[in-house]
Structure 1
Amino acid sequence: MAAANSHFPKLFQKLDLGKAGVLKNRVLMGSMHSGLEKGTVFGGQTDLTSMGKFFAARASGGAGLMVTGGVAPNRAGWVSPFAAKLSNTSEMESHKVVTQMTHEAAPDAKIAMQILHSGRYGYHPLAVAPSPVKSPIGWFTPHELSTSEVYKTISDYANCASLAKEAGYDGVEIMGSEGYLINQFLVERTNKRRDEFGGEYENRMRFPVEIVKAVREAVGEDFIIIYRLSMLDLVDQGSDWNEIVLLAKQIEAAGCTIINTGIGWHEARVPTIVTSVPRAAFSWVTEKMMSEVDIPLCTTNRINMPHTAEKILETGQADMVSMARPFLADPEIVNKSEQGRVDEINTCIGCNQACLDHTFKGITASCLVNPEACHEDDLVITPVDPGKKQKIAVVGAGPAGMAFSKTARERGHDVTVFDQAGELGGQFNMAKVIPGKEEFYETIRYFKTMLSKLGVTIKLNTRVEASDLVEQGFDSVIIATGVSPRTPPIPGVDHPKVLSYIDVLRNKAEVGKKVAVIGAGGIGFDVAEFLVHPKSDKTSGDEVDLDEYLKEWGVDKSNEVRSGLLEPKVHPAEREITLLQRKSGKLGAGLGKTTGWVHRANLVKMNVNMIGNVSYDKIDDSGLHISIKDKKDPKKSTKQVLDVDNVILCAGQTPLRELEEPLKAAGVNTWRIGGAEEAGELDAKKAIDMGTRLAARIEDSKPGDVFTMDIGSGAKVIEFFRDFRNKKAGINN
C-alpha cells in the first residue's frame, strides 16, 4: 500500500471507481468553456490540437480526472452558433488528438468529455426547451420539444457518449445543472408540459434518468459517467431538497459513477463563483447529500488552494474536490501541492475577467494571472538563446512589472526591478483592501515567491532616474511605472474635502460619513465598496465569513427552503455614498460581464445612490454642486448640491512615462507596459498579459511592437447572431 502524502494525505488518496478504474487522487479538474472546444458549420472535422495541448499540460500537472468544456449532443444543444458538437464519426475523429495528447502526457490521468445541451440558454435561433419560456439572459424564445423530439434528444446523448468513448475519452459528464436543458426539465419554472415529461416531479425527472440509463447502455460498465446534479438552484420555483435527493438516488440506480455538485442557475441572483464568494462556500450542500447515495460525491465552487480541498475531504464533506479555474491559473497546482510547494501556486482569484467574461463574449478564454492558459499555441515560453541574453531593468513592481520580470528571468535574462514603494504589488496593494478582493493577496504572494526563487534583483524604496539606468548599462528598460490619478477641471477641486482614490485606499485618509464618488468605473465601484463596509483586516480568502455571505445574499444553509432562497439580510452601510458619472445609462456598464451585476447589486443593497448624466459645477464648503441633465431634453438640467464631507476622485488616470524620452535619447531600448502604456481604466488582465508576452520574445522584438492576446473568431460569430436577433426583434443598436 502506497504511503500517504505527507502534505495533503486525503487529497492524494486514490479513489476506486470499480469497473470504471481507479483515480490517482481526489482532484477533479472541473469543466470550463474555453473556446478551444471548436465546432464547424456542417459538423465535419476540426483541428483540436490547441485543446489537446491545454489538457496535456494539466494532465502533466497532476490532475487525476479532467472534464472538458461543454460539447453539444446535437445542433439544437449548441451553446453558441457553430460551437462544439459531437454527433457523428467525423467530429469524433477530431477529438482523438485531445485524448491521445492527454494520455501521452500522463498515462495515469483520466479525461471525461462534458455533454452539455444548452436548452433555452443557447445563443442561437435553433434553441429548444421543455416549454417555450424565454430565459432572462437569453436571446431567443426556445422551440418547445415535442414528445418524440425529447426521446430523440435522449438518444442523442447516448450517441454522443458512445462517440466520446470511441474517441478515447475515459468518461463523460452529463451536465444537469446551472440551468441548462436538463435543469429546465426538472422545475416548474421552465417545464409547463403535460406529457410524460411534465407535471409531477417523477415525470419531470424522467428526462435525466432516461439519459443516464441510455448512456450507460451505450458505453458499457468500464466507462466513467459523471452526473452534474443541481443541488441548490437559487432561483424561484426551483427544486426542493427532497426532489434533489430522489433524483440523486435514481441517477445512481441508472448507472452513474460520480455525482458532481452543481450550484445555482446562470440567471440566479446569488453570486456563486466570483472573488467575493468565500472559499468552499457550498461544500455544506454536498455534505448533506453524502449519507443519501453510495457512489462518490464531488464538491465544487471557489476551492482554489490545496489546504481548502484537504479540509473538505478530511471533514467528510465530499469524496472528491472539483477545481476548475485554479487549473487555468496554474496547470501545476496538483504537482505543487503534492510536493509541498504551496507558495509557488499561482492562485485563482475568482475574478472571471479572462475566463467567463471572455466566454460570454465568444473570445478564447485565458486567465488574468496566467495569460498562457488556453494560449499554449500563441504564447510559448522558451529559454532565451544564450547569445541573446539581456540585462534588463524593470521600473515598477505592479502587475505588469512583476509578470514581465518573472517570465523574463524564467527564460534566462538578467532582471533588476526598481520601485519607489516599499512592497511589491503596485495597484494590487490597493485592490486587496477592497472587501471581497482578499484573494489579491495571493497573487502578490505568488510573484514575490517566484521572483525570489528565480533570483530577480529587487530594489524597493528606490526612485530611479534615467541617468542611473544609463550608467548601469542596461540593454533594455521596461517602463512599468503605472499611472497617476487624473484631476478633473472642476472649480474647487483643490478644496480640503477632495481626496483621490489613492488617498483613500493606499494612504488610509480619514473619510467622513457622507461621501460623493466622482467616476463610476471599476475604481469608483471599488472605492464605494470599500467605504460602505466596516474596516477589515482580512488578508486571505480563507478569512471571508461564510455565514455572513449566506445571510447577505439570502441563502438557506439548511437547504430546507425550496431553491435554497431566503430574504437577504444586509447590514446598514457605514456611510452615505453617492456614486456619479458624466455618461448617461447604467452605472458600471463597463464592469465585467459576469461580475458587474454583483458589484451593482452589492451597492444597491447598501443604499448607494447612483446618478448618471451629470456635470460637476463646483466644490465648496457646501459640498459638491452638480447639474443632472434631463433624459428627455439634454438641454435642460436640474441643479443639486450634495451635502457631503468628502468628494473622492475616481475620474481616470494618466500614464507615468517621464523616464521614456531621456532613455530613448540615450539610445536605450525602452518599452512601456501596463498602465504606463495604456492608462484608461486600470486593467490588470491586460497589464499581466502585455508584460508576459513582451518577456516571451523581447530579444527578437523592437520597441513599438504590439503584444496582445489572440481572442479567436468566436466573438465575430456571436456578434453576427446578436445582430440577427436584434433585427428580428426590431432592436436598433
Structure 2
Amino acid sequence: MSLAEHEAGGATLPLLFTPMRLKGLTVKNRIVVAPMCQYSAVEGRVTEWHHAHHGRFALGGAGMAIVEATGITREGRITHGCTGIYDDSQIPGYKAIVDLYHAHGTLAGIQLNHAGRKASTKRPWDGAGSIAPGEAEGPWDTVAPSAIAAIDGWHTPRALTIAEIDAIVDAFAAAAQRADQAGFDTVQIHGAHGYLLHTFMSPLANRREDEYGGSLENRMRLPLRVAEAIAAVWPADKPILYRASVTDDLEGGLTVEDTVALARELKARGVDAIDCSSGGIVGPVALKKMQPGPGFQVPLSAAIREGAGIPTMAVGMITDPLQAEAILAEEKADFIAIAREFLSDSAWPYRAALALGLDDPFAVLPEQYAFHLRRRARGLKS
C-alpha cells in the first residue's frame, strides 16, 4: 500500500510522514537532510564527490535536503574546499544536484553562508585551525563585527565598515538569485555556529558602538537586512529558512529570548521556518549548561516555535524514529533535520516507516530502490 492509499483508506499517517505546506510548496514528509560540509569543492565549485554524496540521499526518501554551508563570497567560505555560490560558473554543478533530488520527489535547498571570523581555516582533516602565511593553500583576510578572534591563537578579523556590510547584504541577495537559477526550492540563511550573522547577534563577538552593535535591536539589524534582501529577489512561492544558534549557552552571550525576538522579526520579513541549533560562538561547541545527547536541542526548537509562532526544525543527535515522531506529536518542532545518521543509513526514512508501523514501509523510497529491498526482504537473490 502506498502512502496515498494508506491515507485514502482512512489510516492515520505518522506525523513524520504527513506532508506539510511551506508557501507554495508541499514537503512530502517531515524528514530533512541537514547540511553537511564536505570540504571537497574546487574554487567553490562542486565536484563528483558532491554528486555521489547527494545521490545517496536522493534515493533515501527524505522530504527535503539542504546543501552544505555555501559561501556567498570567495572570502566567505570556511575553507579552500568549501562550496561557493558567488560566480555564475558554479550554478551548473548545483543544478545537477537539484535534478537528482527532484527526480525522486525530494525538495532541494542550499545553505547560504558567510563564515566571518571562522573563514580562512584548514579542512578538518588538516587540523581545522587558521591557515598560516606561507602554507600551500594560503590564508585570506577575515572580517567580523569586531576585531575579536574566534579562538585564542587564531587570526584576528578586521571589523567591517558600513559600506562592507552593505556589500555583504547585496552578496546574500545575489547568491539567492543564483540559487533560484540552479532550481533550488528553498534557501537557508546561516545564522548559527559562530559564522558572520551569528557573530553580529552575539554580545560575545559584537562590541560595535554604531547601529549594528549594543542593543538587541541593533545586533539583529544585519540578519534582518539579509532576510529582507533575499525576500526581495526570491520567488514568492518558495520558502526561506533560517538556521539559528538559539543560545550561546555562555555567560553574557546570546539567549533563547534574544532568538525568539529575532524569529518574530524574521517571520515578519518572509522567513518560513527556523532551524534550531546552538553554540559555536567561541569554538566548535563550547556549551556549558546543555550537554550534547539525543535530542538535546529540542527544547530550543520548542521555545522558538511557541514564542515566535513560526514552524521549526529540530536538529542534533535525533536518530530514533520513535523519538522523532514524539517530538512532532508533542508540538516541539515541525520538521526533523538529520545529518550524520543519514551518512550511516541513507535509507533512514525506510527504517522510520518500519518502526512507525506503515503498512508498506518500502513505499517511502523510490520505486527502483524499493524493488531491490523487497526482494531482499523475501530472501530472493539479485
TM beyond 0.5: yes
The one of 182, 196, 201 equivalent to 2:211 is 196
C-alpha spacing 1:49/1:340, structure 2 compared with 1 (3 Å): same
1:379 is matched with which residue?
Answer: none
C-alpha spacing 1:168/1:242, structure 2 compared with 1 (3 Å): same
Partner Cα separation in structure 1 for residue 68 and residue 315 of structure 2: 16
Cα shift at 1:271: 7.9
Q: SS state of the match for residue 29, structure 2?
A: coil
Cα shift at 1:453: 9.2
Check whether the contact 2:71–2:77 (CA below 8 A) recurs between aligned residues: yes
Larger helix percent: 2
1:44-443 aligned within 5 A: 46=45, 48-81=47-80, 83-104=82-103, 106=104, 108-122=105-119, 123=121, 124-136=139-151, 139-265=154-280, 267=283, 268-270=285-287, 277-340=292-355
Cα shift at 1:291: 2.0
1:29 is matched with which residue?
Answer: 33
Check whether the contact 1:8–1:337 (CA below 8 A) recurs between aligned residues: no
C-alpha spacing 1:327/1:65, structure 2 compared with 1 (3 Å): same
CA RMSD of aligned residues (A): 2.7
Cα shift at 1:95: 1.6
C-alpha spacing 1:224/1:137, structure 2 compared with 1 (3 Å): farther
C-alpha spacing 1:99/1:27, structure 2 compared with 1 (3 Å): same
Partner Cα separation in structure 2 for residue 269 and residue 261 of structure 1: 17
Check whether the contact 2:39–2:81 (CA below 8 A) recurs between aligned residues: no
Q: SS state of the match for residue 328, structure 1?
A: helix
Check whether the contact 1:121–1:138 (CA below 8 A) recurs between aligned residues: no
Q: Tell me the amino acid that sits aligned with residue 99 of structure 1.
A: V
With 116-125 and 324-333 compared, the bigger mean Cα shift is at 116-125
Check whether the contact 1:7–1:340 (CA below 8 A) recurs between aligned residues: no
Deviations 1:159-184 (A, max 9, x none): 11110110111111111011111110
Check whether the contact 2:46–2:83 (CA below 8 A) recurs between aligned residues: no
Partner Cα separation in structure 1 for residue 153 and residue 251 of structure 2: 17
Q: Tell me the amino acid that sits aligned with residue 270 of structure 1.
A: L
Q: Tell me the amino acid that sits aligned with residue 34 of structure 1.
A: Q
Check whether the contact 2:72–2:85 (CA below 8 A) recurs between aligned residues: yes
Deviations 1:47-106 (A, max 9, x none): 5333123223212211101111111000221101353211121112232211122222x1
C-alpha spacing 1:88/1:9, structure 2 compared with 1 (3 Å): same
Q: Tell me the amino acid that sits aligned with residue 62 of structure 1.
A: G
C-alpha spacing 1:341/1:209, structure 2 compared with 1 (3 Å): closer
- Aligned residue-pair number: 339
Cα shift at 1:340: 4.1
Check whether the contact 1:92–1:163 (CA below 8 A) recurs between aligned residues: yes
Q: Tell me the amino acid that sits aligned with residue 54 of structure 1.
A: H
Partner Cα separation in structure 1 for residue 274 and residue 58 of structure 2: 22
2:14 is matched with which residue?
Answer: 9
Cα shift at 1:312: 0.5
Cα shift at 1:337: 1.8
TM-score (normalizing by structure 1): 0.44
Cα shift at 1:8: 6.7
1:559-574 aligned within 5 A: none
Deviations 1:305-362 (A, max 9, x none): 21110111111111111111111111100123224499xxxxxxxxxxxxxxxxxxxx
Partner Cα separation in structure 2 for residue 329 and residue 138 of structure 1: 35
C-alpha spacing 1:271/1:330, structure 2 compared with 1 (3 Å): farther
Partner Cα separation in structure 1 for residue 113 and residue 145 of structure 2: 15
Check whether the contact 1:8–1:310 (CA below 8 A) recurs between aligned residues: no
Q: Tell me the amino acid that sits aligned with residue 77 of structure 1.
A: G
Partner Cα separation in structure 1 for residue 273 and residue 42 of structure 2: 28
Q: SS state of the match for residue 232, structure 1?
A: coil
Cα shift at 1:143: 1.6
Gaps of 5+ in 1: 343-382, 384-409, 411-449, 456-733
Q: SS state of the match for residue 229, structure 1?
A: strand
Partner Cα separation in structure 1 for residue 112 and residue 37 of structure 2: 12
Q: SS state of the match for residue 94, structure 2?
A: helix
C-alpha spacing 1:32/1:196, structure 2 compared with 1 (3 Å): same
Partner Cα separation in structure 2 for residue 328 and residue 315 of structure 1: 27
Deviations 1:533-587 (A, max 9, x none): xxxxxxxxxxxxxxxxxxxxxxxxxxxxxxxxxxxxxxxxxxxxxxxxxxxxxxx
C-alpha spacing 1:331/1:138, structure 2 compared with 1 (3 Å): farther
Q: SS state of the match for residue 291, structure 1?
A: helix
C-alpha spacing 1:199/1:10, structure 2 compared with 1 (3 Å): same
Q: SS state of the match for residue 15, structure 2?
A: coil
C-alpha spacing 1:341/1:314, structure 2 compared with 1 (3 Å): closer
- Percentage identity across aligned positions? 26
Partner Cα separation in structure 1 for residue 46 and residue 332 of structure 2: 40
Check whether the contact 1:154–1:214 (CA below 8 A) recurs between aligned residues: yes
C-alpha spacing 1:306/1:272, structure 2 compared with 1 (3 Å): farther
Q: SS state of the match for residue 67, structure 1?
A: strand
Q: Which protein shows a greater Rg? A: 1
Cα shift at 1:292: 2.3
Partner Cα separation in structure 2 for residue 272 and residue 207 of structure 1: 28
With 309-318 and 75-84 compared, the bigger mean Cα shift is at 75-84
Q: Tell me the amino acid that sits aligned with residue 289 of structure 1.
A: I
Check whether the contact 2:231–2:270 (CA below 8 A) recurs between aligned residues: yes
Partner Cα separation in structure 2 for residue 185 and residue 64 of structure 1: 32
Check whether the contact 1:72–1:78 (CA below 8 A) recurs between aligned residues: yes
Cα shift at 1:137: 6.2
Q: Tell me the amino acid that sits aligned with residue 86 of structure 2.
A: S
Check whether the contact 1:52–1:97 (CA below 8 A) recurs between aligned residues: yes
